[in-house]
Structure 1
Amino acid sequence: MMIICKQLAQTQVMQIPTGGMDLSVLRYNPHKPKVVVVMGATGTGKSRLSVDLATSFSAEIINADKIQVYEGLDIATNKITEEECSGVPHHLLGIVDPESDFTAGNFVSKASLAMKSIVGRGKLPIIAGGSNSFIEALVDDENYDFRSRYDVCFLWVDVAMHVLNQFVSDRVDRMVASGMVEEVRNMYNPNGDYSKGIRRAIGVPEFHSYFRAQYSSSADEKTRSLLLERAIKETKINTSKLAQRQLAKILRLKNVKGWKVHRIDATKVFKKTGKEADEAWAELVAGPASMIIDEFLYNFDHPRAFADMADRSGRDVREVQMAATTY
């Protein structure tokens, strides 16, 4: 159920004082144990933020992506790599047979066991993933079991859609360059069922016509080239559509169900590259998120911390606070 990433953390995100409090006291605290949920559309950096927080707050991560739970297609499903894990244990990642179905009920059962185990070791569970239907099934279960057992803090990493669309388009190109087509080809089955298992992953059904043409003696090179180009384009379009659906679900959870969601705007980060992007991530995403979680765990007062961040960055305090807006 758990993947232990052996790579040790190379860098630490912005550290927020916690007064030396050991998370293991949560086991003996009369109050409910804490759980953090990191949400967002595909490509917004949920995995990165979860690891940043986990290295700061002694946490373990539970994957809530309904496709990444399956074994295989690491490139096509954009699974976090061992290096990116930075030594943080990950649960429910690549553990399900790719031919089987993994339902929301299955997720609730396994995630509940993982949370109990993590809390029992004095660690903070961080649930991260884009499958909001899985998260909703866990948090708002019929018997209110989750709410009765845990206090929860919701983080939403948001990126303006026009900026995110360009990013996911470029990401698909990088995935293709990294061998995604060959990876998906190894799973090709002319009679495959694209309505179940890992074959539901975006980037699998889109390449069906291309692979079929490759194995057909009647398809010439030009036809195959056009089909490949179309498959890549469709993968980009469908990824953008997925991001829009995910955003709509988050807004429904906030507006209709009344979830208290802390929105962190990462748009400016995605407009930068290289070192500047990393610095913006620490300032606009990892830093504010750490403050929110620190307050959630320890009731730490952050006005002075926001002021210090503003002084270091030369920005207005209100602008820094806007990076961690509660919706």
Structure 2
Amino acid sequence: MGISMLVSQQPQLLPATMNIPPGRLNLDNFIPWRPKKKVVVVMGATGTGKSRLSIDLASLFPAEIINSDKMQVHEGLDIVTNKITEEERKRVPHHLLGIVGPNADFTASDFCDRASIAMEKILSRGRLPVIAGGSNSYIEALIDDVDYQFRSKYDPCFLCVDVRTPVLHQYVSERVDRMVKKGMIDEARKFFSVNGDYKQGIRKAIGVPEYDMYFRLEPFLDEESRAMLLKKAIQEIKNNNCKLVHRQLEKIHRLRNVKKWNIHRLDATEVFNRKGNEADEAWEELVAGPSMEIVAQFLDRDATIKRNWRHGRFFGRQKIMLHNAL
């Protein structure tokens, strides 16, 4: 009885030939199959080189970049938020950078709406959308929220630039020192307010609330006391960046191990252990090169990319037009 029940529940096969009377086949609700649209997502903790990799991808593939960093969507604080500069963009079109006011809230839902529009515009131009940024909650909402139907429309390729934690901690700490030299303190001072809300808008960014006590007491302290208080604020910024690294890595591990996202890990640790030309060579060998091959295979252009890579033309910035693959 159990077997007969199972058999009876199986879907019935249609006969090999069907006699459908002429004019009786209704095609009004027939939806032709279309391949999913390709999208590349570049992930990683802060400071790992996500922006650099997205630019490298756009140097070979005709791509446009969609920012997924929740602080960089705001206007202002370019140094504090480490926003990619015009020079670093290398004329590659970027979307969702500095698009809302400093005090505005920009939720995951807002990101999904804007990113969806940007993706369709990019694809309509026959180009590849590359989503890059460290706000994994934004990316997760876009990919897995059923309201946006991302999985039914798009085929994502996930790349994750990874660096061993002790090496990355040292790097992000040194980066804070470089940001201070570039004018980080004066930039943050412009956003200081006695009644400022550090839970809203761009003031939530690491590198703003940490200076609050320093800016409040600065006029009333002698030079030595000011220096000590400033040093404490800078150290707090470094500590908070290291905590951010851990939170970002935990989210990526959850997406890979719990939600089973197929994330391609690219170990950039050796890049950060080297200097100058040696670091650039390590980047091309360990991060950019493998990423290009992964994306090329994803776009069904594997053989062409490998041939260009092996003949040393990869970083000659030859672009391969992929209109048919997108």
Aligned counterpart, 2:298: 296
Residue identity matched to 1:103: T
Q: Is the 8 A contact 2:289 2:309 kept in 1?
A: no
Q: Secondary structure at the match of 1:298?
A: coil
Q: Deviations over 1:248-299 (max 9, x none)?
A: 0000000010100000000000001111111111111110000000000015
| Residue 307 of structure 1, CA deviation | 10
Aligned counterpart, 1:226: 228
State how far apart, in whole Å, the 1-side matches of 2:265 and 2:116 are.
25
Aligned counterpart, 2:126: 122
| Residue 198 of structure 1, CA deviation | 0.2
Aligned counterpart, 1:244: 246
Q: Is the 8 A contact 1:139 1:146 kept in 2?
A: yes
Aligned counterpart, 1:30: 34
State how far apart, in whole Å, the 2-side matches of 1:135 and 1:181 are.
30
Q: After superposition, where does 1:50-89 map in structure 2 within 5 Å?
A: 50-89=54-93
State how far apart, in whole Å, the 2-side matches of 1:35 and 1:126 are.
6
Q: Deviations over 1:7-42 (max 9, x none)?
A: xxxxxxxxxxxxxxxxxxxxxx93111000000000
Aligned counterpart, 1:285: 287
Percent sequence identity over aligned pairs: 61
State how far apart, in whole Å, the 1-side matches of 2:242 and 2:66 are.
24
| Residue 222 of structure 1, CA deviation | 1.9
* Higher alpha-carbon Rg: 2
Aligned counterpart, 2:197: 193
Q: Deviations over 1:40-71 (max 9, x none)?
A: 00000000000000111000000000000000
Q: Is the 8 A contact 2:44 2:134 kept in 1?
A: yes
Residue identity matched to 2:136: N
Q: Deviations over 1:284-318 (max 9, x none)?
A: 11100000000000152599769959xxxxxxxxx
| Residue 95 of structure 1, CA deviation | 1.0
| Residue 224 of structure 1, CA deviation | 1.2
Q: Is the 8 A contact 1:104 1:133 kept in 2?
A: yes
RMSD: 1.9
State how far apart, in whole Å, the 2-side matches of 1:196 and 1:239 are.
19
Q: After superposition, where does 1:129-208 map in structure 2 within 5 Å?
A: 129-143=133-147, 145-208=149-212
TM-score, normalised to structure 1, is 0.82
Q: Secondary structure at the match of 2:299?
A: helix
Q: Is the 8 A contact 1:62 1:111 kept in 2?
A: yes
Q: Secondary structure at the match of 1:167?
A: helix
Q: Secondary structure at the match of 2:234?
A: helix
Q: Secondary structure at the match of 2:88?
A: helix
State how far apart, in whole Å, the 1-side matches of 2:301 and 2:187 are.
47
| Residue 220 of structure 1, CA deviation | 2.2
State how far apart, in whole Å, the 1-side matches of 2:303 and 2:62 are.
20
Q: After superposition, where does 1:250-269 map in structure 2 within 5 Å?
A: 250-269=252-271
Q: Is the 8 A contact 2:296 2:305 kept in 1?
A: no
Aligned counterpart, 2:315: none
State how far apart, in whole Å, the 2-side matches of 1:296 and 1:305 are.
16
State how far apart, in whole Å, the 2-side matches of 1:89 and 1:305 are.
27
The 3 A distance-change label for structure 1 pair 72 and 144 is closer
1:111 is aligned to 2:152: no
State how far apart, in whole Å, the 2-side matches of 1:294 and 1:307 are.
11
Q: Which runs of 5+ in 2 are unaligned?
A: 1-32, 312-326
Q: Which runs of 5+ in 1 are unaligned?
A: 1-28, 310-327
1:93 is aligned to 2:97: yes
| Residue 141 of structure 1, CA deviation | 1.1
Q: When the two structures are aligned, how many residues end up with a matched partner?
A: 280
Residue identity matched to 1:239: N
Residue identity matched to 1:37: V
TM-score, normalised to structure 2, is 0.83
Residue identity matched to 1:233: Q
State how far apart, in whole Å, the 1-side matches of 2:305 and 2:229 are.
56
